[in-house]
Structure 1
Amino acid sequence: MKVRTRFAPSPTGFIHLGNIRSALYPWAFARSTQGDFILRIEDTDLERSSQAAVDVIIEGMKWLGLDHDEGPFFQMQRMDRYKAVLEQLKAAGHVYPCYMSVAELDALRERQMAAKEKPRYDGTWRPEPGKTLPPVPEGVQPVLRFRTPVGGSVVWDDKVKGRIEIGNAELDDLVIARPDGTPTYNFCVVVDDIDMGITHVIRGDDHVNNTPRQIHIFRALGHEPPVYAHLPTVLNEQGEKMSKRNGAKAVTQYRDEGYLPDAMVNYLARLGWSHGDDEIFSRQQFLQWFDLDHLGRSAAQFDEAKLRWVNAQHLKAMDDAALAPLVAQQLERMGLQADDRLPAICGLFKDRCDTTVALAQWARAFYADVVPDAAEQAQHVTDAVRPALQSLVQQLEACAWDKVAIGAAIKSVLAEHGLKMPQLAMPVRVLVMGTAQTPSLDAVLALHDKKVVITRLQNG
């Protein structure tokens, strides 16, 4: 049987890392088994859903490379299908109209809570043999409720949590259509999963309570439910559930802050799954290794410092030519235009960086004016060293512009003035790059325009 998984977000706000991890695992499982991954937008909450949120979902998934094989499907475009299936359930006696008003329901709950009982619908309008139903109130549109089986329990083997059993006595009769006839979430999900042939539902464990209800609806429609894997919550750095209210950032913000998609996939994969002690791995390795048997059972905690470290490892390992366009985008945000030197600049500075933004800050000195750090300039560019700087300008003006020739010119000036390398290199770095700490001086200068280097040294 071909694996078919899905990601089914609600477009009620931007998508954050806790949400996207619920897309990563079903995507990875589909890819690792040569299955299909379906994107479905659950947009039935008309008041809170927005096109902007849909756009961010699609943009975030595209950036991370979580490509879908089918969709996006929108639940609001499938209303006719849901209503047809509702008629099927009605005809089979699995649903019934309930005329209990909201005020009556609230009063029932209050009585139950006062009696220290679990608040739940009491089956007033549920037809039973020999039972007389209350008179139908005039002018009231009923909800439709699903007849939960009496007695017994719902059991499933969860791929994360193991065997779960919930007694039917714990479940009341679920509303599956509102008074205006629009179907509710738990019903729509089941119809979608049947129609889309979903074999594995991999989602957050906040859905565990929905699962027994959905299993009942599957079986009422003559289908066996899919395999379930309920993922533990992702916590923020304060140990709270990651959410927009608790300060979670949109996934696309990490792109803007200079994180690499493969590093994000690597980090997110480890928030609830492991392959031995492997911390850093490629996307290809992740897909080779991924299975549902090594999903963690406990909540994972987001750690931005760890994410930056993972990103730094991927940055160092990345091919310079592939890295350069990402850094060029960051330079464009600064209003700067890169050129064909950028891959070599990336190669020289990437070991010092943990994001493409940090790398662009280094590259900036090659494409914009530099203002040396005042304290470093005062410390290193002294009257004692100025004669050596003047000699270096003369040597550089006369030499070929490559690393070897520049290195020879620097050594010549050191010998002429009896200086050690740091005594000359520090002031040169401050004037040319704006800071005293850079990679090898000859390599840095060789990547600069010759006239720019000479002008910056003369102005110092």
Structure 2
Amino acid sequence: MNTNKTRVRFAPSPTGLLHVGNARTALYNWLVARHTGGKYILRIEDTDVERSKEEHESQLIEDLHWLGLDGDEGPEIGGPHAPYRQSERLGIYHEHTEKLLSEGKAYRCFCTAEELEAERQKAIAEHRPQIYSGTCRAITKADSDTRAASGKLFAVRLRIPDRPLRFHDIVRGDVEFSSETVSDPILVRSSGVPVYNYVVTVDDALMEITHVIRGDDHISNTPKQVAIYEAFGWSVPQFAHLSTILGSDRERLSKRHGATSIASFREMGILPEALVNYLALLGWGAKDGTSETFTPPELIAEFEIERVTASPAIFDFDKLHWLNRHYLKLADPARIMDLAWPYFEKAGLLPARSPGDAAIRSWFGKLIALFLPSVDRLEQLPEKTHFIFRFDAILAAANEENATILRSEAAQKVLAAFADRIRAWEDPMTPEQFKLWMNEIKAETGAKGKDLFHPVRIALTGAHSGPEFDKLIPIFEEGSRLSLPEHVLSVRERVEQFVSA
């Protein structure tokens, strides 16, 4: 790829949430710009007035910021090719339409919607391609001017040359469409609103876009856009059409497969660096063929659009979760605490943060450090730590697996010995004291391994498996001394509650 003055763009429509497919497109454009030292432009395609919403644009820009895909030019920061919203560029499109009409490269089409539909139905009945027949192509300029002056509604169509339309696709190679399959496309509707293929081409040309990187659903649009470039005498950019992203059932990824919007992944507690890493792998791979973890700087250094494959990519939620676990472990603990706190606050387990919560924050840091390795995403932490805040001895004792363990004679002896010691103990429990007691109980009862530890773990946590006691006991003891929305029971309180249950 020529790295001199590479200019790419991401041009979404603000008609809904930013989804995985568009986010990958944005990422690939951003990586090409950063890898080549070029420019990455954000352009908002909002000519669909009925569906375009300001709140969608705000959410879209926020999601891109969260992913770290900030632009060099765009509606927020401006640039030499402003404005960057299509709704603010209508005068530009009108000016270019007049130029094409004056040069005879476009013409007015006075066919009504009914006439066009009748033509389409006839083509279907005769098993012919459903393309415009060119009825208005031969109307003289004088006749066209007269009809327009009389107030008759018209669309504007591009006059397609009688030759194949060709372009090179970086992902798919050379592509060719016959002129018959393209027909004479509409540039401006009879309502006066310019169509997508027209405005996107004008914008890309005027903004000096060198590489158009987008989804493969745009391949059929490309010959029309190539024809528009050629009509104006503009250089045709390089194209790269990215493969479709599929779900595990090999159908196009949609909501039925799970979360697909960037906002949803963010709400789950997926880190942006994990999602960016995963999106990069949906159709691209490292030169060594094995590396799968890349920080954004590493992606910038490694990424080449020529390595993108044309094969559909399968969205694997398990792999995304694996990558998220990887980045959760690498992340600054203070950052993870800040990100995790709102999940606990929403669950009613932590208070709203304030400058005076240093003790709670210190304790919360230990809690997160203990449980973070066992979750895929931050939203799972409140449920994973639920027994810390809301211990239910009756429910724990009634659990079928727990009940089976607790019915044994060994378990009853171990619990009785542990309860006797805790009742006689006045100081806060420490891991060292706990270890000493368990050694004594082992000698007294002859219990060992699971028979020794499982009954005590059930009494303290409500389950027979979980974190190591030396990490867990300080969580109980320190937490019980804090002022929290839910009182954290100490070891003593847990045992007393369990024995009485």
TM-score (norm 1): 0.90
Q: Which residue of 2 aligns with 1:318?
A: 331
Q: Which residue of 2 aligns with 1:438?
A: 466
SS at 2:362 equivalent:
coil
- Deviation, 1:105, is 0.9
Residues 22-421 of structure 1: matches in 2 within 5 Å?
Answer: 22-72=25-75, 73-127=84-138, 136=147, 139-151=151-163, 153-243=164-254, 249-275=260-286, 276-337=289-350, 339-366=361-388, 368-372=389-393, 373=396, 374-375=398-399, 376-381=401-406, 382-393=411-422, 397-398=426-427, 401=430, 403-404=431-432, 406-415=434-443, 417-421=445-449
Q: Retained in 2: the 8 A contact 1:96–1:127? A: no
% of aligned pairs identical? 36
Q: Retained in 1: the 8 A contact 2:108–2:156? A: yes
Which segment is superposed worse, 27-36 or 414-423?
414-423
- Deviation, 1:408, is 4.2
Q: Retained in 2: the 8 A contact 1:200–1:227? A: yes
Report the Cα distance in structure 2 between the residues aligned to 1:174 and 1:315, rounded to whole angstroms: 51
| Inter-CA distance 459–377: structure 2 relative to 1 (3 Å threshold) | farther
Q: Which residue of 1 aligns with 2:21?
A: 18
SS at 2:294 equivalent:
coil
Equivalent residue letter for 2:495: L
Q: Retained in 2: the 8 A contact 1:320–1:344? A: no
Q: Retained in 2: the 8 A contact 1:399–1:405? A: no
- Deviation, 1:129, is 8.5
Report the Cα distance in structure 1 between the residues aligned to 2:231 and 2:215, rounded to whole angstroms: 25
Equivalent residue letter for 1:159: I
Equivalent residue letter for 2:325: A
Report the Cα distance in structure 1 between the residues aligned to 2:339 and 2:378, rounded to whole angstroms: 7
- Deviation, 1:414, is 3.9
- Deviation, 1:106, is 1.1
RMSD: 2.8
- Deviation, 1:235, is 1.2
Equivalent residue letter for 1:191: V
Post-superposition Cα deviations, 1:150-180, rounded to whole Å, max 9, x if no partner, equal 22x2222211101112222332111111123
SS at 1:62 equivalent:
helix
Unaligned segments of structure 2, at least 5 residues: 76-83, 351-359, 481-489
Post-superposition Cα deviations, 1:286-325, rounded to whole Å, max 9, x if no partner, equal 2221111110111112222332233233333434333222
- Deviation, 1:145, is 0.9
| Inter-CA distance 290–179: structure 2 relative to 1 (3 Å threshold) | same
Q: How many residues align?
A: 457
Q: Which residue of 1 aligns with 2:81?
A: none
SS at 1:194 equivalent:
helix
Unaligned segments of structure 1, at least 5 residues: none
Which segment is superposed worse, 204-213 or 15-24?
15-24
| Inter-CA distance 192–134: structure 2 relative to 1 (3 Å threshold) | closer
SS at 2:361 equivalent:
coil
Q: Retained in 2: the 8 A contact 1:18–1:243? A: no
- Deviation, 1:203, is 0.4
Post-superposition Cα deviations, 1:387-436, rounded to whole Å, max 9, x if no partner, equal 222245258644674x4555445445544554425344323333333322
| Inter-CA distance 449–242: structure 2 relative to 1 (3 Å threshold) | same
- Deviation, 1:185, is 0.6
Q: Retained in 2: the 8 A contact 1:16–1:243? A: no
Equivalent residue letter for 1:385: V
Q: Retained in 1: the 8 A contact 2:30–2:69? A: yes
Report the Cα distance in structure 1 between the residues aligned to 2:337 and 2:367, rounded to whole angstroms: 9
Report the Cα distance in structure 2 between the residues aligned to 1:427 and 1:247, rounded to whole angstroms: 39
Report the Cα distance in structure 2 between the residues aligned to 1:54 and 1:224, rounded to whole angstroms: 30
Q: Retained in 1: the 8 A contact 2:131–2:181? A: no
SS at 2:176 equivalent:
strand
- Deviation, 1:380, is 4.5
Equivalent residue letter for 2:461: M
Equivalent residue letter for 1:437: S
- Deviation, 1:97, is 0.9
Report the Cα distance in structure 1 between the residues aligned to 2:145 and 2:93, rounded to whole angstroms: 29
Report the Cα distance in structure 1 between the residues aligned to 2:88 and 2:168, rounded to whole angstroms: 33
Report the Cα distance in structure 2 between the residues aligned to 1:221 and 1:198, rounded to whole angstroms: 15
Q: Retained in 1: the 8 A contact 2:415–2:455? A: no
Report the Cα distance in structure 1 between the residues aligned to 2:296 and 2:392, rounded to whole angstroms: 40
- Deviation, 1:123, is 1.6
Report the Cα distance in structure 2 between the residues aligned to 1:405 and 1:288, rounded to whole angstroms: 53
Post-superposition Cα deviations, 1:180-206, rounded to whole Å, max 9, x if no partner, equal 322111111012112322221110011
- Deviation, 1:282, is 2.6
Post-superposition Cα deviations, 1:342-374, rounded to whole Å, max 9, x if no partner, equal 3332332222221212233234444x2222533
Report the Cα distance in structure 1 between the residues aligned to 2:39 and 2:346, rounded to whole angstroms: 37
- From 432, 455, 460, the counterpart of 2:493: 455
